[in-house]
Structure 1
């Protein structure tokens, strides 16, 4: 994903993402040129302090 970001292929809420550390929120729309769009449905922190992100593909 960071490679796509550095190539300028990723947008969040129609804004170009400059760094892989971009913070996401619920209902954000991620568009990847040539791959499609995803909407963030839920973000949870697991017991091991990792992130679980539920996404839905938008057509």
Structure 2
């Protein structure tokens, strides 16, 4: 069974849509994390330039 150009294009379109949904979900999760850290007044720990950095809200 040979995959046609139309099938490949459809598959790429679906993958792009899924990628957009995943990135949107990650953005929402990050916003919720920041809101939680501000609410509890706790530090956010991130990796910046191969160093662990603690950020106060």
Give the TM-score band, short-chain normalised. Answer: under 0.3
Higher RCO (CA-CA < 8 Å; seq separation 6+) = 1
Higher strand proportion: 1
If you compute each CA radius of gyration, which structure gives the higher value, 1 or 2?
Answer: 2
TM-score, normalised by the number of residues in structure 1: 0.27
TM-score, normalised by the number of residues in structure 2: 0.27
Higher helix proportion: 2
